[in-house]
Amino acid sequence: MASGTYLADILDAHRRRAEADHRPLAALEAEAVAAPSPRPFADALAAAGGLAVIAEIKRRSPSKGDLDPTLDPAGLAGEYAEAGAACLSVLTDSDFFGGSADDLANARAACDLPVLRKDFTVGEADVYDARIMGADAVLLIVAALAGDELERLHTLAGDLGLAALVEVHDSEELQRALDVGATLVGVNQRDLRTFEVDHDRARELAAVMPPDVVAVAESGVRHGADAARLAEAGYRAVLVGETLLTSNRRAAALGELRGHPVARRGVTSSPPAPSRA
């Protein structure tokens, strides 16, 4: 489980909210099952023809503060779609990122792209809510979930037809993701405990990731050269937020990131043991 300032504070807030949520899970399940069918998230990444871009919509972040608190999610979604994004990621956390379910619904209604609900999933209600608000994929952060929680929520997402992007930060977390059957794995180059970026992390984990896993690199992708290096390491997609949100030439910036040839990964060993240093 997580420890440290940023992630611990965020998770504490989400778990307190979950404890105060007394909605019956059976009612949420019925509403989720009745929601429109999700769009195929992983298929959209595979069909991108080279490195795919998951373009993010968020108003602020704990590390950077306000990015664009007045942004129009629908307008930005249309802009991303026209520029060639394969999928969208929309922050729905309100306390730390300024997002909402409405942001996701408005972005999804403005285009045909599959949408990831980017939030801190801590229980079944979060997964049901993702489907209810119109998400096509849900984020599961390994560092935020105990082993039984990760397996349970990953299974629930699949049962609801949602893709599960399982986020890892090191080899131990990667093994946990693989143990629950994750086929869509995100490697966050930003440590959510400190919010510092480590570019070596993505390359090291790509080298030991099974070739049948769809690998997504998250955070710290600033330029076309960054994207090209990740594609050469075998990443199928990059999830990019601040680089696009703070650019005054978003379409061109997105174009520089997408389409790089993706190398095929080969695995000859299990993920390395975590450092004891």
pLDDT tens-place string over residues 130-183: 999 999 999 999 999 987 999 999 999 999 999 999 999 999 999 999 999 999
Among 56, 79, 173, 256, the active-site one is 56
- pLDDT exceeds cutoff 90 at 251: yes
Among 61, 89, 188, 256, the active-site one is 188
Check if the beta carbon of residue 261 is closer than 8 Å to that of residue 227: no
Among 61, 89, 118, 171, the active-site one is 118
Residue 69 phi/psi, 5-degree rounding, is: -65, -15
Average pLDDT of the segment spanning 234-248: 93
The question of whether 232 is a catalytic residue gets the answer no
As a whole number of angstroms, the distance between CA 159 and CA 143 comes to 23
The question of whether 79 is a catalytic residue gets the answer no
Among 79, 106, 219, 256, the active-site one is 219
Cα distances from 187 to residues 101, 102, 173, 239, in angstroms, run: 25, 27, 10, 10
Q: What is the value of pTM for the model shown?
A: 0.91
User: Which domains, and CATH codes, for the chain?
Assistant: 5-9+41-257 (3.20.20.70)
- pLDDT exceeds cutoff 90 at 100: yes
Cα distances from 207 to residues 168, 169, 187, 219, in angstroms, run: 14, 14, 12, 19
Rama region for 35: left / alpha / beta (φ>0; ψ in -120 to 50; rest): beta
R_g over Cα of the chain = 17
pLDDT tens-place string over residues 192-224: 666 778 888 899 999 999 999 999 999 889 999
pLDDT of residue 198: 81
Residue 166 phi/psi, 5-degree rounding, is: -95, 115
pLDDT tens-place string over residues 216-227: 999 889 999 999
- Higher pLDDT: 159 or 264? It is 159
Average pLDDT of the segment spanning 120-130: 97
Q: Which of 63-67, 72-76, 100-104, 267-271 has the lowest mean pLDDT?
A: 267-271
The question of whether 219 is a catalytic residue gets the answer yes
